[in-house]
Structure 1
Amino acid sequence: MSDKEALVRFGISMPQSLLDQYDRLIALQGYDNRSEAIRDLARKALLASSAMQPDETVAGTIVMVYDHHVSDLPITLMELQHDYHHEIISTMHIHLNHQQCLEILVVRGKVHQLRELQQRIQVLKGVGYAELSVTHVDEHHHEQH
């Protein structure tokens, strides 16, 4: 929001019990008022990959947890990452325990390509979790491929 952009007031109706829960949550998160918390909710909703146009260029992360003992899964994941090397900027690999690994892919590219990569990871046997989180819409980036 630019400094010159006018704020618009509007009313929201919700059950008292939901409002009480929300007030407790935003107080724990350090918000001084409901307005800023609701603005952040709106921003987060707009950054949901499902709300974006498939050809928008974005940056974000794909977080996955998987069992590295599942036959050939680490090799399959590595090959898949090589297939998307233009979209993957960086990776971090963490050993959670003897079986499970947490891997974070920092990604940048078209929403549809990043969704496709996340979905291809999610369906692999041994992957327990894979989520795409978009953190930035790059309105000025032009693909160089």
Structure 2
Amino acid sequence: MSEKETLVRFGISMPQSLIEQYDRLIAIQGYSNRSEAIRDLTRKALLTSSSMQLDETVAGTIVMVYDHHISDLPITLMELQHEYHHAIISTMHIHLNHQQCLEILVVRGKVEKLRELQQRIQVLKGVGYAELSVTHVDEHGSSHEHPHTHA
């Protein structure tokens, strides 16, 4: 939030038990007041892929957990990743135990295509979890073609 932005006050009605649970949660998370916690919840809600325009360019991750013993699932996942290679920047594969793998895909592209990839992963037999998490990308502020140096 910029310093020039005007703050607007509004009221929220909640059951007593819910606000008590919320106050305990935000205290554990280190918030000193409800307002900042609610602002963060709102920002997070606005960054869900379902609340963004389908043609908006975003960056983010697809996190999945799957059973690598399910017939052909690792091969199917690899083929799917090759099909979306233009959107996948990087991958990380972690063996959670003898049966389960955690895989993280770092992605960049249009919300519609990234959501499509996440949904295609999610419905595969043996995939227990697949979630897309994204953030806005400022197309005007950065470019892969812009020269820069690293110190």
Instruction: Give TM class, smaller chain.
Output: over 0.9
Query: 3-state SS of the aligned residue for 1:61?
Result: strand
Q: Does 2:32 align with 1:42?
A: no
Moved more, 2-11 or 49-58: 2-11
Residue in 2 that maps onto 1:77: 77
Residue in 1 that maps onto 2:120: 120
Cα offset for 1:59?
Answer: 0.8
Q: Distance in 1 between matches of 2:2 and 2:85?
A: 35
Describe how 1:50-61 pairs up with structure 2 within 5 A.
50-61=50-61
Cα offset for 1:139?
Answer: 3.5
Residue in 2 that maps onto 1:31: 31
Q: Describe the shift of the 1:101–1:71 C-alpha distance in structure 2 as closer, same or farther (beyond 3 A).
A: same
Cα offset for 1:8?
Answer: 1.2
Cα deviation digits, residues 27-67 of structure 1 (max 9, x gap): 00000100000000100110011111110111111010011
Cα offset for 1:143?
Answer: 9.6
- Structure 2, unmatched stretches of 5+, are 145-151
Q: Return structure 1 stretches of 4+ with deviation > 6 angstroms.
A: none
Cα offset for 1:119?
Answer: 0.6
Number of equivalenced pairs: 143
Q: Distance in 2 between matches of 1:12 and 1:34?
A: 11
Between the two proteins, what is the percent identity of the paired residues?
84
Cα offset for 1:97?
Answer: 0.5
Q: Does 2:71 align with 1:68?
A: no
Q: Distance in 2 between matches of 1:10 and 1:105?
A: 39
Query: 3-state SS of the aligned residue for 2:3?
Result: coil
Query: 3-state SS of the aligned residue for 1:128?
Result: strand
Matching residue's letter, 1:120: R
Moved more, 39-48 or 5-14: 5-14
Cα deviation digits, residues 47-88 of structure 1 (max 9, x gap): 011111110111111010011111111111111101111111
Q: Distance in 2 between matches of 1:69 and 1:104?
A: 18
Residue in 1 that maps onto 2:111: 111
Q: Distance in 2 between matches of 1:39 and 1:105?
A: 28
Residue in 2 that maps onto 1:140: 139
Q: Distance in 2 between matches of 1:49 and 1:143?
A: 22
- TM-score, normalising length from structure 1? 0.94
